[in-house]
Structure 1
């Protein structure tokens, strides 16, 4: 039986892509999970019910809007009230927009910074009391290679992800003696709906075909010339919650096919 069996996790932005992969991986280890995100209501319910049926855990869905600190706090309360605690918090929710900064829509900047960075502040603030009460907690912020390096036309995303790296280190120091670790995972390009959705904007911004964007823009930075997989990111998240990673905190961990080795 996994050492995580019976613990409770919240995974934001987990109705698809990386977040869903992480939620399923934790459920497979016996962790009760709150999933959160956007999408078709029937599809989300099918996913939620499927996780319960497949892994024999409890899985709840929170429709909390990541733009609202109050709704994020309510999502954490749902986990605490339903599962008795919130042991693991995975901040994964994110959006992207690609445009030159002098053409970048103000509302896109605000939304990206709030969903990619400010939401993590609210969820960490809400979850810490329950973790401190148990003397154990794991917070994992899904950042990006863009927490460490920049790319043109992604000013809001790069700024927010650099902010996530700083938030991760700061909170890690604050809770270092409380049995709580705080780390960030920085994936390179993972083939997810978020990455696929930014291809048309990049095509327009750079005047490239879809194939050129994939090979010459997305994978150009990754020496392996391979997309990172959702399962690889989920596996690293799971490791960070285990006993072998108990001394890892404040770490900004790359999983990017060698991108940031340049």
Structure 2
């Protein structure tokens, strides 16, 4: 028996990047996957097929647009009409950089809606049923920017600090649900540092341009400011950590924000 046989995970933003790798890790341990993201029909079909090939007994695509504050709760309700949701991973997120003086208010609000409000709505819809069954996992993909700040990222930092704080509140509210034997209900954040995803590619290319277009030099330049390891993570590493958090043995690990940041926040 695989560890997550008979369970189902909803992973937002799971048609690519970190979300897809988390979904793959859970699928390999037997979880059915509710796939979510903004994708065309071919991308959605390919992601579902990839997860079934990895070991998921089933995968279904949901296309709810999380920039609509009402859509996140509807996403969970529609997924629940398909299967019970045992694991919720809030991974979908966006970023746009600019100084505070130049950041449009509508951009600030859009980033908070997708990165923070949507996670509130999905947790609100999913956690009561998890508590009733005695097992549940909420894993919110925050960021190193949920623990420390950087210039020109006010809405992103605000959303990720908020996500870490909100996750701690949810962890306290559900800490007593379930038991050691059932696995309990936990709420945690993973806080990646520099990770090879599309969201950081514009910053890499900007630095590469300073080094004659050398991407590797651009990566090294970018990481030298913040991440002592000077190594990026890959998305599969985040997937492996998320999988471990789903293990029933992790029943007493709740309300934490785990940095995967090469020492960034240790400074």
Q: Shorter-normalised TM-score: what interval?
A: over 0.9
TM-score normalised by L of structure 2? 0.91
Question: Which has the larger displacement, 210-219 or 186-195?
Answer: 210-219
**Residue 132 of structure 1: how far off its partner (Å):** 2.0
Cα distance in 2 for residues equivalent to 1:139 and 1:10: 10
Superposition map of 1:15-164 within 5 A = 15-83=15-83, 85-164=84-163
Deviations 1:112-138 (CA, angstroms, capped at 9, x unpaired): 111111110011001112212212110
Structure 2: segments with no counterpart, 5+ residues: 178-183
Following the alignment from structure 1 to structure 2, what is the Cα–Cα distance between the partners of residues 237 and 32? 15
Question: What's the RMSD between the two structures over aligned residues?
Answer: 1.9
Counterpart Cα distance in 1 of 2:69 and 2:128:
16
Return closer, same or farther for 1:219/1:12 CA change in 2, 3 Å cut-off.
farther
SS at match of 1:221: coil
**Deviation, structure 1 residue 71:** 2.2
- Contact map agreement 1:219 1:227 (CA 8 A) in 2: no
Q: Pick the aligned partner of 1:196 from 188, 198, 201.
A: 201
Match of 1:243 in 2: 248
CA distance in 1, matches of 2:149, 2:114: 19
How many angstroms does 1:3 deviate by? Answer: 2.6
* Distance in structure 2 (CA, Å) of the matches to 1:208 and 1:159: 29
Contact 1:80 1:130 in 2 (8 A): no
Inter-partner Cα distance in structure 1 for 2:203 and 2:33: 29
Q: Counterparts of 2:176 and 2:264 in 1: how far apart (Å)?
A: 33
Q: 1:73/1:89 Cα in 2 relative to 1: closer, same or farther (>3 Å)?
A: same
After superposition, residues 182-261 of structure 1 pair within 5 angstroms as: 182-199=187-204, 208=210, 211=215, 213-261=218-266
1:7-29: per-residue Cα shift (whole Å, max 9, x none)?
Answer: 01100011110000001110111
Distance 1:13 1:257 in 2: 24
TM score, norm. by length of structure 1: 0.92
Whole-angstrom CA distance in 1 between matches of 2:202 and 2:87:
29
* Contact 1:189/1:219 (8 A) holds in 2: no
Query: In 1, Cα distance between the equivalents of 2:111 and 2:218?
Result: 22
Cα distance in 1, alignment partners of residues 15 and 3 from structure 2: 25
Greater CA drift, 216-225 or 10-19:
216-225
SS of equivalent residue, structure 2 residue 70: helix
Judge conservation of contact 1:97–1:198 (CA < 8 Å) in 2: no
C-alpha contact 2:72 2:119 (8 A) present in aligned 1 = no
Deviations 1:25-44 (A, max 9, x none): 10111001111112332122
Partners of 1:50 and 1:231 lie apart in 2 by: 15
**Do the aligned partners of 1:98 and 1:198 also contact (CA within 8 Å) in 2?**
no
